Amino acid sequence: MKIKLDENMPAGLAGVLSRLGHDVDTIPQEKLSGRKDPLVWEAAQKAGRFFITQDLDFSDARAFLPGTHHGLLLVRLREPGRKAITAYVKSFFETENIEDWPGCFMILTEHKFRIRRPK
């Protein structure tokens, strides 16, 4: 899967996901750190990448309707330290069926995973 990590995701997560076989790039690698969310989102979409973020500005499923983008995973942990985020996202990618994710709007917490699929 082609993935773009937002600047608020742990830098080490790129390597973890790459070792799982994914093509990963990051907002900092593309010199987009500090840029407005619409520009970051546009970069992910133009590159055809599944976007992973913690930014609540991406939490409105109506604004990011499933099927209108390459996929969005919003990670919302109560204790969002680098190690916890990396462990949860790694486990999530190892145990879930990623084939179904393109075009989906998803939220990952400590207790559940919610997915809205394209209609």
Model pTM score = 0.96
CA 25-30-34 angle, to 5 degrees, is 115
Sheet with 50-53, side-by-side order of all strands: 23-26, 2-5, 50-53, 72-75, 105-108, 113-116
Tens-digit pLDDT profile for residues 48-81: 999 999 999 999 999 999 999 999 999 999 998 9
On average, the pLDDT of the chain sits at: 96
Q: Which two tokens stand for residue 40?
A: 């970051």
CATH of the domain at 37: 3.40.50
In this predicted structure, what is the pLDDT of residue 92? Answer: 94
Does 25 have pLDDT greater than 90? yes
Domain that holds residue 66: 2-116
pLDDT band for position 84 (cuts 50, 70, 90): very high
